[in-house]
Structure 1
Amino acid sequence: MPHLANRSRITVGATTITYVPDGYGAHNPDVLFPGVDWTTRPGHLEDGRLVLSFGSFLIRAGDRKILVDLAAGKIDVDVPGVAQLKSGALLRSLAAEGLSAGDIDTVVYTHLHLDHVGWTSDVAPLPNAPAAKSPTGLTFGRARHLMSEDEWQYWSTRTGEMGGPDAEAVLKPLDGVVEFVKSGDAIAPGVTVEATPGHTPGHLAIVVSDPSGVSSESVYIAGDILHSPAQIPDPALVFSSDVAPDQARAVRDRVLKRPDTVIAAGHFTGGVFGRVTSVGDAHVWTPVGDVPPSR
């Protein structure tokens, strides 16, 4: 079993942000980061594979219960030459928080790549394969489902594209339900969305601040602005599915320089929460966060 990110939590004022795991992908690093010499970046591979954690972020703000992204869903597949993907623990991770699917009032997507939408419905199709059955409804049926309009429009015209959302399992269940948000919109007290295009055209980050103003620190849920801790000291590393690599790099540079910020990087292993300190042009990642008790 790869070294994965476990359930962990950070607090801003009275608001908590908890990483709830779903699974992992053990990837061919040359597919995800073409042309990178990993021998010059020791410590980032496990048995020659680049492991990415899959999961969601649970925000409890007052009586609100928000999920950021819906992980990869129930999948167990080996994609030859690309990755071994295994996930399906999200609802169990929520149960450890004392919650069921019906307790979630809002789902907000950073973007619609397949490893961020897997629990949208009760079907998680395998990558680039037809769904085994038709979905019967949304997993979080009582929740609002939010994303940027640019993201929805982009994938609505690219159904079947590698890495994108499945039309039957994701787009159709959301059609007529999805609500659009734009940069600066508040979705709960102290919780706002920020446009961060580059990885995809409508990519969003979620910024969590203390609505009381007592704490000056914020938590920045980065989606796929970052995929590996290797991008902290070297933000020029280009991820293979960035639709606009230069734009993605500019966003990454800006995020890494944010003051008073905990970055939540859901694909990291070990710890997904961390602070970035800068010395000159160099960035250093320091993991933070507590392991919450099960409820």
Structure 2
Amino acid sequence: MARPADRITIGETSITYLADGFGAHNPDTMMPGVDWTAHPGVLDDGQLVLTFGSFLVRAGNRNILVDLALGDMDVEIPGLAHVKGGELLRSLAAEGLSPDDIDTVVYTHLHLDHIGWTSDVAPVPNEPGKRTPSGLTFSRARHLMARAEWEYWTRTAVGEMGGPDAEATIEPLDGVVEFVRDGDTIAPGVTVADTSGHTPGHLAVVVRDPSGAGDESVFIAGDIFHAPVEIADSTCVFSSDVDPDQARAVRDRVLRRPDTVIAAGHFTTGVFGRVTPAGGGYAWTPVGQAPPAA
């Protein structure tokens, strides 16, 4: 499993994975058509286990959270998954920070497991008698996303399963959310990139050394990747991809980026890694491990 202290530095900027929880998913529902026998060791007792968390980017005096994880919930979703969260604020405290210390929140997209700490009420699926949120968890922070993402979930896909809850997420953000576009800089060395496909306004966050001393970057990928099988098998389709062909094209483009560490927040083997060509595709190597033999 990914650990709360999973961290990488680039220049004087640090990116730390803050664990919130995990989910055990039905693999055939999540990635239909995959031959799991061709990927030994990926499933855990027949389940596809994904981690949930956020990335803390410390750039100068800035404290940025990329995504807000699952939230404080322990839920069985019939036929799909058992998901459990609730650790994010403790993981943040372990870094010496409180919610008031966060100045910026960037959403890669608004699926349920990336928005759970938006307010003080977790958006539990189909929960009766929900509490009314009293405000944003990170009330001093700017909340940023792509305009296309906001418009999709507030106009086109209102109430769709897996999307943001109106009371717990949309209403607290309404009037507060700010929109960013491909290439916008949100902090020194920190930019956003249009990676729409998984959802219509999906963003990635790219972190570089603002001093320009090195060429390497860290690419916080959101849901471009969910598990290393998507790196090994380019034909994979994830069940919640709004545009599967575009999502696959984005994935292939990211895999070809030079000098890049990918930050994949759902990976259980370590969320920071590099990709190397392997056969007709690619292999994932967590940072700190040796790449597989050619």
- Which range moves more in the overlay, 36-45 or 82-91? 36-45
CA positional deviation for 1:191: 0.2
Deviates more, 1:128-137 or 1:265-274: 128-137
1:52 counterpart (47, 50, 62) = 50
1:232-252 deviation line (CA, Å, top 9, x unaligned) = 111220000101000000000
Corresponding residue number in structure 1 for 2:145: 147
The alignment's C-alpha RMSD in Å is 1.2
State the percentage of identical aligned residues. 71
Q: What is aligned with 1:198? A: 197
What does 1:191-270 align with in structure 2 at a 5 Å threshold? 191-270=190-269
Q: How many residues align?
A: 287
Name the CA shift for 1:50/1:280 in 2 (closer, same or farther; >3 Å). Answer: closer
Aligned mates of 1:130, 1:255 — CA distance in 2: 40
Which residue identity is paired with 2:44?
E
Tell me the secondary structure at the aligned position of residue 112 of structure 1.
coil
Deviation at 1:36, TM superposition (A): 1.6
Return the letter of the residue paired with 2:13.
Answer: T
The letter for the 1-side match of 2:219 is Y
Q: Is the 8 A contact 2:62 2:187 kept in 1?
A: yes
Equivalent in the alignment of 1:65: 63
Q: 2:206·2:217 contact (CA, 8 Å) conserved in 1?
A: yes
Matching of residue 22 in structure 1 with residue 17 in structure 2: no
Tell me, in whole angstroms, the C-alpha distance in 1 between the residues paired with 2:129 and 2:96. Answer: 31
Could you tell me which residue of structure 1 aligns to residue 275 of structure 2? 276
Q: Which runs of 5+ in 1 are unaligned?
A: 291-295
Unmatched 5+ residue regions in structure 2?
290-294
Q: Which amino acid aligns with 2:10?
A: V
What's the CA shift for 1:281? 3.2
Give the conservation status (yes or no) of the 8 Å contact 2:234–2:281.
Answer: no
Q: Which amino acid aligns with 2:276?
A: T
Q: Secondary structure at the match of 1:39?
A: helix
Deviation at 1:282, TM superposition (A): 2.3
Q: Counterparts of 1:283 and 1:166 in 2: how far apart (Å)?
A: 36
Q: How far does the alpha carbon of each residue in 1:117-170 deviate from its partner, in whole angstroms, 9 at most, with x for none?
A: 000000002123346200000000000000000000000022210000000000
How far residue 12 of structure 1 moved from its aligned partner, in angstroms, is 0.5
Residue 279 (structure 1) shift: 4.4
TM-score, normalised by the number of residues in structure 2: 0.95
- Structure 1, 116-125 or 128-137: larger mean CA deviation: 128-137
Cα distance in structure 1, aligned partners of 2:68 and 2:221: 14
Task: Return the alpha-carbon distance in structure 1 between the equivalents of residues 228 and 50 of structure 2.
Answer: 10
2:82 corresponds in structure 1 to 84
Q: Is the 8 A contact 1:66 1:108 kept in 2?
A: yes
Aligned to 1:172: 171
Aligned structure 1 segments of 4 or more residues deviating by more than 4 angstroms: none
